[in-house]
Amino acid sequence: MTQTLIVALLILADAALVYFNLPALESALTLTAPGMQATTSYLALAAGAAGAFLLIWLAGMADRAVLEQSIRQRDATLHAMGEELLRMKSTAYDQERPPLADIRARLETMERDLATIRARLGENPPVIREREVPAGDRRPR
């Protein structure tokens, strides 16, 4: 956007320069090179330079458009890969979850059974949930 604005301002400045100096720019200019000679005006040279500048600018804009398209394609690919990774993680979690839920259900059932047995015996000690580790299974932390 900024580049386009600068190019437009430069073209307007060039047009103003040509407009105010038209008689001087229409004077003849002879260019010579080994084996050839050409006569042109300063106005034709300015128009040629402006045309070359415009072509370079258009080539840059086309290159930028191709680069932005490439970036959009890579972003879409990365997004698709991220979604696929999330699906794989979700599938792995879903496959892992039923055994954990089954173990949790069994433990809760055992806890209810123990609470029922304690209630029948008349004992209602406070519930202390500590993990007991057998003597032979102690590991240093």
Instruction: Supply the pTM of this predicted model.
Output: 0.50
Contact predicate 40/29, CB 8 Å: yes
| Dist. CA 139–CA 133, nearest whole Å | 9
Q: How far is CA 101 from the centre of its chain?
A: 39
What is the reported pLDDT for 141? Answer: 46
- Residue 1: strand, helix, or coil: coil
Q: How far is CA 109 from the centre of its chain?
A: 50
Q: Tell me the sheet residues that pair with 38.
A: 31
- pLDDT tens digits along 84-133: 999 999 888 877 777 777 888 888 889 988 888 888 887 655 555 555 54
Cβ–Cβ < 8 Å for 8, 15 = no
